[in-house]
Amino acid sequence: MTNLDEFTLVKFRRPAVFPILQKRLILCIFLCFTLGSVFSQTIKGSVKDSATGEGIPFTNVFINNTTIGTTTDENGFFTLTRPDLPSTFSLVASFVGYTTVDKNVTIGVGETKTVDFILTPLESVLSEVELKSRRDKPWERNLKRFENVFLALPDDPLANEVKIINPWVLDFKKVNPDKGPNYIQATAQEPLILENEALGYKVTYFLQDYKFYKNKSSYYGLAFFEDIITSDSVKAAKYLLNKQTSYQGSVKHLMKSLLLQELPVEGFNLYKTLPEQMNRQRTNTYAVELGESIIPIQQDSIRRIPLRNGNFRIIWPDRLEVHFLGKSWRNEYYVDIYHPVGWISAPLGFFDIDRNGVPIDPTQVVLSGYIGRPRMGRTLPHDYVPPKTFENLAAEVNLEEINRNKWESKRERPYFSTNKPYYYPGERVWFGGTMLYKNQFYRDTLSQVLHVELRDERTNLVFSNQYRIESGTIAGSFDLPDSLPLGDYFIRAYTDWMRNYPKGDMFMRALPVLAKGLNVENQQIPEVDYAGDLIFDISQSVILEGSDRKALINLTIKDALDEPVPAQFSLSVTNSDLVAQIADQETIISSYDWLDEPLMERFTVSPTFGIEYGITVEGKFEKTKKRDPDINPITIVRGDLEDYGVVKTDSSGYFRASGLNFVGWDTLAFAALDQKQRPYGMITYTPRTPPAFNGTFPKNQYQKYEVVEYPLAYDNFGDYILLEEFVAEDTKIESIAENYYGYGAPDREFTSSELENWPGNTVASVIGMKFGNGRLGNFNYGLNDGEPLLIIDGSRYLYNEGETANDVLQNYLTDEVKSIAVYTLNSNVFGLAGFAGVIMIETKRGERKTKDKRRFNDFGFAKYPVRGFAETNPFPNVPNPGQNLGQNATLFWTPWVSEMEGSYDFEVFLPEGVKNITVKMEGITGEGIPFWKIFQLEL
């Protein structure tokens, strides 16, 4: 009773009136200690050397993934007694110079178990000096990859506070199995020592297996956690907070909440994911997908079966989607919610967990999304006990942060390269590249118009135009005037939507213009070290084909596993004797740093500038009579009804319309029309003004010299015309209907055979079934889509007053329709009228009586000239038959190769006398790694 004596020998004055209470208190204390000893669990045993049979003193014995452990005595024996041992666990014995052994243990309440270990000495152990001597660049590359997989994801806020103290114990090797893909394997001669200054743990990790594949990775090991003791109250508070944030939303938090039937209280929502529906395109909008591809499920629908060993079997029927509402997070899956989303599946249909929610066999549970993000840097020991409330996390969930995440995820920025680094007056500048998005899911719903300016050294505007952004890619060209003075010019490119954000988001590129007869001294371009992640190779051969001399070139990209790397890139080939290289140019690698910029502190967006889905016009309506309404419908017509639409003003008379699609200049007519189609009021069109320039601009450093040995050649392709492809006589010529009336392939099509599945149904009901009650348009913030454009047998349908698409489609039955084509994300080709989507119907009779003539009566309309998109001028990579090749500086240019599966073949037509060429490629791999590579080839 020593413990009881120590507890009761406390000096205080006892009132004589409470003798019975004193006895009861002593009895309660006695019972507590007695019951504690009864329910305590004990693990005892020994650790011996396999060669000598003798006990190994001071061996570490611990329960895997916990802070619970002990060491053997001088004879190799150990005893571990605790009242809170899990019912099933892995017990580990480890000593330096011996193999590490673990054994599965099951123990009941109050039970004592004996577990003996036999450790085998390691055959050879390298010293620390020997281990460190093996480090080289490939080893460092593999270590960096290992840390990203093992410690923390690169974008984890805690990543910089977790490190491996002894990384030199790791060894990496490439494995090329007879079957299956190649992989990198890691082994460790000694346990890894992790210092986690984010959570306050020192972790001894015994690596059992690590494999790094091209598209996945896996690791497994045994871990012992020790608390980092600190007297610094600030550090202690940080440890506490980070432990709580790491626990919240974790799989342990989820499973424990499920056991206690507290999922909604703890902030979890579960959804069953449904298989893809035929003829339905999944969106990234939660509000649209709810009830279509995901269905909420109740927590009591998931069975929890108690097992005899004290664990629980969870029957996990399908792949479930997990939403955690307890914290905000930059969502990369849905565009309209800002909390963590993940997915859990069980290949066996079930998995077992202990009473704390810890999975017994992690291989039974497949995690992805947010819930699958944690690595060792976020891992808490299994015996971590979370607080009952998380008051310290109140600051983590606030409207300001959610709002900042919302606008941050809508940021975009262009990047493009040019066909060569400098130019001469009269030459054409070709450019091509891609848009960078903070959230890729917004690619199809953000800007589709890029504004490009050329400015001189005084930042005066020399040229401006607007170019299409198609599927996130950029391509275009512009001509430099023959009279352009020499100087250091620069390009500025931006979208109107970007003007809501810091001006640093705008893209700029230096564009030197030289006087003819001058050239630039060639500069040494430093090689980019991709640390073996990307391996480039090029091969070429020169052939004669008739009178044409061509270079056949093959480009390949492989990764560290010798696997082909898919990529997208721009590609240029120049005559090395005519075009020098300039070293200090902006590259896609440096531009990609923008994606890693942290969230803007205290940044809020007031969207003064809208998203442009095509050519955009703005204007002002002014009343001419007092009875004119405050909000007015403005009819906008391009040309002779080539495009049209109706938008409403706000109460001040301002209106804006986006989505027009035309090239060059055209006339737009504006009018407010009453119910009798009579114009009223006065409309003023507001021409677009570019943003003012302030700050610095890029300027290259280079040395010029006069060329006297040989005449310089400039890019001059004359009146080059691309020949139209012809159709062979035995090839079936598509009808105009089969070619979708020239509008290109739709996003979704219903053929005759598919429509036969819905006999007697209206087209309206088919569209409603497949597109959520007929809503087709772009799901964008703050947009009023209006009615979709209807094209019936090739003619645009003109709505009557108050008529909807549903009203029209109710009049058509599937029995009389040959096909239905639906355009949603690809509807910009239809201009303003197609902003809300397009439904194209081909009837079996192939004719329809139009109610209105196409001729536009512009009486009473205000007419203004408006500039459309810049004309597209593709680079003449293939000369016309019989055309003599001029001595041009640029020999080949492709603004953006969108699909390359590790290898790309192309041919370059060579003018007479070309001996050396420069091949430059710049782009992004399928995994999002930016690259920039230059090859110098001697022909």
Residue 410, classified by CB atoms within 10 Å of its CB into exposed (0-12), middle (13-18) or buried (19+), is buried
Residues 508-529 have a mean pLDDT of: 92
DSSP β-ladder status, 112-114 and 41-49: parallel
Q: What's the pLDDT at 134?
A: 60
Q: Is the pLDDT of residue 705 over 80?
A: yes
Q: Where are the alpha helices (DSSP H) in 704-787?
A: 752-755, 763-770
CA dihedral 358→361→363→367, nearest 10 degrees, is -10
User: Who has greater pLDDT, 142 or 491?
Assistant: 491
**Rounded distance, CA 547 to CA 544, Å?**
7
272's CB contacts (< 8 A; 6+ apart) are: 294, 295, 297, 317, 318, 320, 321
**227-231, 307-311, 777-781, 919-923: segment of lowest average pLDDT:** 777-781
> CA-CA distance, 636 to 662, in Å (whole number)?
14
The whole-number pLDDT of residue 739 equals: 57
pLDDT at residue 850 above 60? no
Give pLDDT, residue 84: 82
Listed residue (114, 111, 106) closest to 39, CA to CA: 111
Whether the per-residue pLDDT at 730 is higher than 50: the answer is: no
pLDDT band for position 31 (cuts 50, 70, 90)? very low
Long-range contacts of 741-745 (CB under 8 A, 24+ apart): 741/791, 741/794, 741/840, 743/823, 743/829, 743/830, 743/838, 743/840, 744/826, 744/829, 745/826
How many whole angstroms separate alpha carbon 622 and alpha carbon 642?
27
Model confidence at 896: pLDDT above 80: yes
Would you state the structure tokens that stand for residue 501, as one six-digit string? 């954000």
From CA 16, how far away is CA 927, in angstroms rounded? 79
Looking at residue 3, what is its pLDDT? 40
Gap between the terminal Cα atoms of the chain: 95
Q: How far is 116 from 95, CA to CA, in rounded Å?
A: 14
Q: Tokens 């240019």 label which residue?
A: 893
Distances (CA, A) of 111 to 88, 107, 140, 476, 705: 13, 6, 49, 77, 90
**What distance in Å separates the CA atoms of residue 694 and residue 699, rounded to the nearest whole number?**
15
Q: Parallel, antiparallel, or unpaired: how do β-strands 304-306 and 312-315 relate? A: antiparallel
Question: In 150-232, which ranges are E strands?
Answer: 162-164, 170-175, 183-188, 192-196, 201-212, 217-227
Please, which residues have CB within 8 angstroms of residue 440's CB and are 6 or more apart in sequence?
332
In 56-200 the beta strands, taken as DSSP E runs, fall at 60-63, 69-71, 77-82, 88-94, 101-106, 112-114, 117-119, 162-164, 170-175, 183-188, 192-196
525-559 pLDDT, tens digit each: 888 888 677 899 999 999 988 778 899 999 999 98
Phi and psi for 393 in degrees, rounded to 5?
-95, 5
What pLDDT is stored for residue 7 in this prediction?
32
Q: Are 474 and 412 in contact (CB under 8 A)?
A: no
Read off the tokens for 326. Answer: 């307890």
329 close to 340: Cβ distance less than 8 angstroms: yes
pLDDT above 90 coverage of the chain, percent: 51
Q: Select the highest-mean-pLDDT range: 55-59, 171-175, 500-504, 902-906.
A: 55-59
In which band, very low, low, confident or very high, does the pLDDT at 5 lie, cut at 50, 70 and 90? Answer: very low
Distance CA 412, CA 435 (A): 7
The pLDDT, as a whole number, for residue 362 is 86
Tokens 């006695």, residue located: 30
Q: How far apart are CA 716 and CA 541, in angstroms?
A: 26
Please state, rounded to an integer, the average pLDDT across all residues of the chain.
84
Mean pLDDT of 26-34: 44
Record the tokens describing residue 778, joined without a space.
């772009």
Highest-confidence segment of 16-20, 248-252, 774-778: 248-252
- Work out the pLDDT band at 177, boundaries 50, 70, 90: confident
Residue 848 tokens read as 């329809």
**Tens of pLDDT, residues 199-228:** 999 999 999 999 988 777 889 999 999 999
Rounded Cα distance between 313 and 784, Å, is 49
pLDDT band at 441 (very low <50, low <70, confident <90, very high): confident
> Which range among 623-627, 687-691, 815-819 shows the weakest confidence by mean pLDDT?
815-819
Measure Cα distances from 520 to 4, 326, 561, 874, 916 in Å: 91, 59, 40, 27, 17
- The CA-based angle 510-514-520, given to 5 degrees, is 85
Is the per-residue pLDDT at 6 higher than 80? no
Is the confidence at residue 10, as pLDDT, over 50? no
Across residues 230-244, what is the average pLDDT? 92
Single-letter code of the amino acid located at 206: F
Amino acid making up residue 930: P
Q: What is the pLDDT of residue 130?
A: 58
* Other beta carbons within 10 Å of 403: 15
393 vs 822 pLDDT, higher one: 822
**The residue to which tokens 């399908």 are assigned:** 318
Question: Per residue, what are the HEC states of 615-667?
Answer: EEEEEEEECCCCCCCCCCEEEEEECCCCEEEEEECCCCCEEEEEEECCECEEE
Confidence (pTM)? 0.70
The kind and range of the H/E element at 6 are helix 2-8
Listed residue (75, 51, 74, 46) closest to 61, CA to CA: 46
Query: DSSP letter at 160?
Result: G
The three-class DSSP label of residue 486 is coil
pLDDT at 601: 63
- Cα separation of 224 and 65, whole Å? 6
Contact (CB, 8 A) for 354 and 87 = yes
Strand locations in 868-929, DSSP E? 890-901, 903-909, 916-925
Q: Quick: pLDDT tens for 629-658.
A: 989 999 999 988 888 888 999 999 999 999
Give me the helices (H) in 718-811, please. 752-755, 763-770, 805-809
* pLDDT at res. 493: 97
Give the burial class of 420: count Cβ atoms within 10 A of its Cβ; 0-12 exposed, 13-18 middle, 19 or more buried: buried
pLDDT average, residue stretch 388-415 = 69
Average pLDDT over residues 781-785: 42
Per-residue model confidence as pLDDT tens digits over 734-759: 444 555 655 667 877 888 878 877 78
CB-based contact 634:619 (threshold 8 Å): yes
> How much is the average pLDDT of 320-333?
86
Report residue 502 as tokens. Answer: 């810091």
